[in-house]
């Protein structure tokens, strides 16, 4: 294709590729920004591109001219991706404290679930031992100590009304309940000490509520209560 740059008298042969209305790629000729015309082989003009006077971008085999004054700008390099954070690996102490919290929840759940009490007539009733129940039972103990009869209290069955219990029955209820709570509080405290003594993550993960605590970590009160049970 014959290209006649406006600052030259003779045309040169090159390749012209229109990229869009404002950009044209010219290959095979020296860089020139004077504007140009395209000529036929006989020298007749068939294309006028006088406004393409801005060097938009240089290419390996040519250059791109723009008619709107635009200039190619290299895009900002993509930022390096942030490295993936290392997966969190809990320390032995982290696992110990997590296990202690887990065992504490288990203890509270077991206590709140309550205990069975065999009454003086041989029947068995179940009593919940949530925080409110435990607080109330302390007050009931004082009524038992005062020798009161017909002491009102409720079982764990929410469908049943409260009812009166004899002094002997309430004494059994409060004694059994308090002993039950004391056992689990004492057991948990010893279990907590044992957990914090463990030296491997694997051993910590094996701990379950109700497991046998090694004798070296049993308190004297726990040993005494275990002896009474056996």
CA 56 to each of CA 8, 62, 68, 131: distance values in angstroms, whole numbers, following the listed order: 21, 11, 10, 80
Q: What is the pLDDT along the chain (230 residues), one digit of tens a residue?
A: 899 999 999 999 999 999 999 999 999 999 999 999 999 888 888 899 999 999 999 998 899 999 999 999 988 888 888 888 888 899 999 999 999 999 999 999 999 999 999 999 999 999 999 988 888 888 899 999 999 999 999 888 888 899 999 999 999 999 999 999 999 999 999 999 999 999 999 999 999 999 999 999 999 999 999 998 87
| Contact between 195 and 96 (Cβ < 8 Å) | yes
Task: Give the largest CA-CA distance in the chain.
Answer: 132
> What is the chain's alpha carbon radius of gyration, rounded to the nearest angstrom?
46
| Contact between 92 and 204 (Cβ < 8 Å) | yes
Would the pTM of this model clear 0.75, i.e. be above it?
no
């Amino acid at each position: 294709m014959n290209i006649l740059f406006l600052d030259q008298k003779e045309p040169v042969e090159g390749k012209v590729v229109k990229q869009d209305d404002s950009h044209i790629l010219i290959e095979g000729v020296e860089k020139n920004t004077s504007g140009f015309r395209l000529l036929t082989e006989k020298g007749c003009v068939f294309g006028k591109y006088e406004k393409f006077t801005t060097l938009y971008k240089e290419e390996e085999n040519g250059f791109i001219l723009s008619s709107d004054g635009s200039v190619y700008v290299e895009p900002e390099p993509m930022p390096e991706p942030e490295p993936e954070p290392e997966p969190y690996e809990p320390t032995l102490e982290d696992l110990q404290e997590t296990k202690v919290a887990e065992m504490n929840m288990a203890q509270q759940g077991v206590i709140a679930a309550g205990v069975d009490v065999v009454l003086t007539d041989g029947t068995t009733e179940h009593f919940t031992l949530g925080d409110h129940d435990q607080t109330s039972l302390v007050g009931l103990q004082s009524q038992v100590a005062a020798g009161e009869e017909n002491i009102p209290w409720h079982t764990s069955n929410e469908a049943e009304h409260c009812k009166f219990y004899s002094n002997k029955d309430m004494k059994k209820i409060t004694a059994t309940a308090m002993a039950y709570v004391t056992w689990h509080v004492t057991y948990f405290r010893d279990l907590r000490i044992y957990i914090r003594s463990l030296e491997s993550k694997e051993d910590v993960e094996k701990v379950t509520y109700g497991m046998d605590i090694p004798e070296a970590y049993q308190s004297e009160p726990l040993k005494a209560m275990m002896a009474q049970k056996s």
